[in-house]
Amino acid sequence: MTALTSMTHQESVQAFLAQKRIAVTGLSRTKDSGAGSIYLKLREHGYEVFPIHPQAEALHGDQCYPDLSAIPGGVDAVFIMNSPDISETIVREAVRLGIKHIWMHNNVLAPSSVAKTAADEARAAGVNVISVGCPMMFLTPDFFHKGLGWLLRATRRMK
């Protein structure tokens, strides 16, 4: 195991949030989405964020990219909020591009974005993979996300 794959959950989150250029997937062109909220929260906190959407030209006033490889200069991390089959493709592209920080959205209320096989492959490649929780629990969380974080810790899903 590498240093990135042997971290505690809290250390993994801190390492992810220490990155400056973050791609966000799972944004919707037609409605407000959880991914859109996370995208805006990261942007509000000073991150350089890049929306990934295969068919949109722009989202939230920013140029959109069809995939990770289309982002000029690349990114340091990717947050994924898609169905697991799409997450699998994104994780494999991230590993191929050398991205060392991947967070797949997963909590107790929304459908999970975790593609277990791809996450295991990424960890084996030395990637910091977060497969539980949401960045909204760590970036000045609102009451809901504070409570959700407490629930995930209390049920030992997030240590």
Tell me the pTM: 0.86
Range of the domain at 55: 20-154
Task: Look up the CATH number of the domain holding residue 35.
Answer: 3.40.50.720
% of the chain surpassing 70 pLDDT: 82
Average pLDDT over residues 31-35: 76
**Cβ within 8 Å of residue 7, ≥6 positions away:** 15, 128
**Total number of domains in the chain:** 1
Residue 54: exposure state from Cβ atoms within 10 A (0-12, 13-18, ≥19):
exposed
Which band of pLDDT confidence, cut at 50, 70 and 90, is reported for residue 146? low
Q: Is residue 4 part of a domain?
A: no
Which band of pLDDT confidence, cut at 50, 70 and 90, is reported for residue 132? confident
Note the pLDDT tens digit of each residue in 41-93.
Answer: 999 999 999 999 999 999 989 999 999 999 999 999 999 999 999 999 999 99
